[in-house]
């Protein structure tokens, strides 16, 4: 059974052109001089068409069939139709959409690539995981690779002829990369022999491409202990010479694929490296720095995955609520000519639908803003603007990744609830979205890891540089729109929260200086608090942008009323998170381990 899949182009275009003023941005960014609204809209239209007609019908196929693993050869066969869809993707040029033109890409900004990714993942997230890490591998090699590595590997990844992976996790260590044991032994020809086992490797093996380029974290023989002794290596499935020629099968094989709760059409692999030929990327023992070039890109992408699943579930739940007849409205029949009223008239159904709508549209505004900052960081000729954007996006990425994926769990659960028993069974697709969404809060760093990154590193270690910039922008917006009637009702709450956010952060910093455990105890609540305030800012900006736009009156009204719901029903969650993070670490840490039994 195929559920409905209609790309939310109206809201995407609103975010791009009205909220973020993308057309003005394109004229200032190098490489975007020829990009205009007509071209951008054409790209979005084609992405919607590809997603809806090619990928969406395969979503349930991938879930039911899953991937097939041959233990004799280590080969992985993807679900029926997946490989052909990938070839169509490559033939249409989607693989290199945002890659530099010098590498064979189209050079489009991330602000266009991000909504394309949302549409692809909304149609078929399991399929979308295969090209996902190629984007990150491109960035890592482009920034840190040697010239010959760029020539030998990059163009083929950009074209989609090959795909890339990111190999971090090992059986004994997940997020604690300081414990990894994979070894890299130097060879006489300048290459390295890579030995070890990596697990949970997305698209580590598949039948899409002739080669797969693994980016692998490993230790050199003389490496210091901990994260300071990690290096990054290119380890292709088939050996690649310095001239780019593809050789024999490398000593890397898929040892198994995982049997998972969701994303069954995505191959999650155990990868065994048995003295495989690899090449060092960047400086020895500096692999984590190079890997984070991939990681930040991947974390933003996973946030968009959460948004995509939320959108698909909401679209179908809304359609069901409009059609399904159940009981009468409490205030009297709304459709007296029918045997019962549709679900959408009932208060609790409307609460669940509005919660989804508010989190999705607020999340889209926040996620695309982060994508725009990535473009400014990497493309702006103004060094100051680029540095400012880097600090802002570094601060926002853990919020976007964690909040949008946690929202996906909430939104897919609410969509299933609207269907009732018909959501719990497989026939209507809702339970697949709920299962698929669950991993998004885990891979590329759990919500707890994102929270520690936000509070421990981005706020405490970096002295809140990104937060200060964000609050400065928020304050400037409030000053600029002080007399804007469209947002007057929201301003007192937004300005009060901005001050509170700064004050709370300062107090947390003082407590953490006396007891570092305060960071761990408060981090997740601090992240949610920050995320809901950041989304409130996005909502007020959205209302102001809609009011000043040429959008239809109905669109403007919907933005205002959804913002009111967000401020009245979702933003109060900050009170709970504030109380929890202010409660201190004692209640979290006081109980002896033995008493947990």
Angle between helical axes of 465-480 and 383-419 (0-180°, round to 10): 80
DSSP 325: B
522 vs 96: CA distance, rounded Å: 41
DSSP helix/strand/coil, 165 = strand
Tokens, residue 312? 């698909």
Q: Do residues 481 and 544 make contact, with C-beta atoms less than 8 angstroms apart?
A: yes
Q: Do residues 202 and 165 make contact, with C-beta atoms less than 8 angstroms apart?
A: yes
Strands 211-218 and 162-167: parallel
Q: Do residues 435 and 464 make contact, with C-beta atoms less than 8 angstroms apart?
A: no
Closest CA to 533 of 503, 509, 507, 488: 503
The percent helix, strand, coil of the chain (3-state, each to 5) is: 60, 10, 25
Which helix (H) or strand (E) element contains residue 214? Answer: strand 211-218
DSSP helix/strand/coil, 210 = coil
Residue 278: left if φ>0, alpha if ψ -120 to 50, beta else—which one? beta
Residues in a beta bridge with 170: 173
Closest CA to 360 of 407, 419, 302, 399: 407
Reply yes or no on whether 38 is catalytic. Answer: no
117 vs 124: CA distance, rounded Å: 11
379 vs 375: CA distance, rounded Å: 6
DSSP helix/strand/coil, 369 = helix
CA neighbours closer than 13 Å in the CB half-sphere of residue 37: 11
Tokens, residue 422? 């018909």
Strands 246-249 and 162-167: unpaired
DSSP helix/strand/coil, 342 = strand
Q: Do residues 188 and 238 make contact, with C-beta atoms less than 8 angstroms apart?
A: no
Residues in the chain: 597
Q: Do residues 403 and 363 make contact, with C-beta atoms less than 8 angstroms apart?
A: yes
531 burial (CB, 10 Å; 0-12 / 13-18 / 19+) is: buried
Which helix (H) or strand (E) element contains residue 200? Answer: strand 192-202
421 vs 408: CA distance, rounded Å: 20
Closest CA to 157 of 110, 234, 96, 91: 96
- Of 110, 139, 390, 444, the catalytic one is 444
Tokens, residue 341? 């009223």
164 vs 296: CA distance, rounded Å: 16
Q: What is the dihedral of CA 45, 46, 51, 55, to 10 degrees?
A: 160
19 vs 369: CA distance, rounded Å: 9
Catalytic machinery residues: 444
């Amino acid at each position: 059974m195929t559920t409905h899949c209609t790309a939310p182009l109206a809201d995407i275009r609103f975010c791009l052109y009205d909220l973020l003023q993308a057309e003005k941005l394109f004229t200032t960014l190098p490489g975007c001089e020829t990009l205009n609204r007509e071209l951008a809209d054409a790209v979005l239209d084609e992405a919607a068409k590809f997603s809806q007609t090619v990928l969406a019908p395969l979503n349930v196929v991938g879930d039911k069939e899953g991937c097939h693993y041959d233990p004799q050869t280590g080969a992985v066969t993807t679900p029926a139709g997946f490989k052909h869809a990938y070839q169509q993707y490559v033939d249409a040029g989607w693989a290199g959409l945002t890659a530099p033109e010098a590498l064979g890409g189209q050079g489009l900004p991330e602000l266009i690539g991000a909504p394309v990714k949302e549409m692809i993942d909304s149609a078929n997230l399991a399929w979308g995981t295969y090209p996902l890490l190629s984007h990150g591998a491109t960035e890592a090699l482009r920034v840190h690779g040697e010239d010959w590595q760029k020539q030998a590997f990059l163009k083929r990844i950009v074209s989609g002829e090959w795909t890339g992976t990111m190999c971090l996790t090992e059986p004994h260590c997940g997020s604690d990369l300081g414990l990894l044991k994979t070894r890299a032994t130097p060879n006489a020809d300048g290459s390295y022999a890579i030995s070890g086992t990596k697990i949970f490797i997305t698209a580590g093996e598949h039948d899409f491409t002739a080669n797969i380029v693994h980016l692998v974290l490993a230790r050199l023989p003389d490496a210091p202990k901990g994260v300071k002794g990690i290096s990054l290596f290119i380890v292709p499935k088939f050996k690649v010479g310095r001239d780019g020629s593809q050789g024999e099968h490398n000593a890397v094989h898929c040892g198994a694929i995982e049997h998972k709760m969701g994303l069954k059409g995505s191959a999650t692999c155990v990868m065994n490296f048995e003295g495989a030929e690899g090449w060092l990327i960047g400086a020895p023992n500096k692999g984590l720095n190079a890997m984070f070039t991939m990681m930040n890109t991947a974390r933003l992408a996973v946030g968009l995955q959460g948004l995509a699943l939320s959108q698909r579930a909401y679209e179908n739940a809304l359609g069901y609520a409009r059609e399904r007849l159940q009981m009468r409205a409490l205030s009297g029949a709304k459709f007296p000519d029918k045997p019962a009223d549709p679900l959408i008239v009932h208060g609790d159904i409307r609460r669940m639908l509005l919660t989804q709508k508010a989190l999705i549209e607020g999340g889209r505004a926040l996620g695309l803003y982060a994508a725009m900052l990535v473009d400014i960081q990497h493309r702006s000729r103004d060094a100051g603007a680029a540095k400012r954007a880097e600090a802002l996006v570094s601060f926002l990425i853990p919020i976007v990744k964690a909040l949008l994926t946690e929202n996906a769990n909430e939104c897919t659960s609410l969509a299933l609830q609207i269907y009732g028993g018909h959501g719990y069974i497989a026939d209507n697709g809702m339970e697949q979205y709920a299962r698929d969404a669950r991993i998004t809060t885990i891979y590329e760093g759990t919500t707890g890891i994102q929270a520690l990154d936000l509070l421990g590193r981005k706020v405490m270690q970096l002295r809140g540089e990104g937060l200060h910039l964000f609050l400065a922008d928020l304050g400037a917006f409030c000053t600029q729109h002080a007399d804007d009637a469209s947002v007057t009702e929201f301003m007192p709450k937004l300005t009060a929260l901005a001050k509170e956010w700064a004050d709370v952060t300062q107090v947390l910093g003082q407590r953490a200086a006396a007891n570092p455990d305060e960071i761990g105890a408060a981090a997740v609540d601090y992240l949610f608090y920050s995320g809901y305030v950041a989304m409130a800012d996005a909502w007020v900006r959205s209302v102001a942008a809609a009011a000043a736009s040429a959008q239809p009156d109905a669109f403007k009204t919907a933005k205002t009323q959804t913002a009111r719901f967000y401020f009245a029903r979702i933003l109060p969650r900050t009170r709970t998170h504030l109380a929890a993070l202010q409660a201190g670490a004692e209640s979290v840490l006081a109980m002896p381990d033995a008493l947990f039994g």
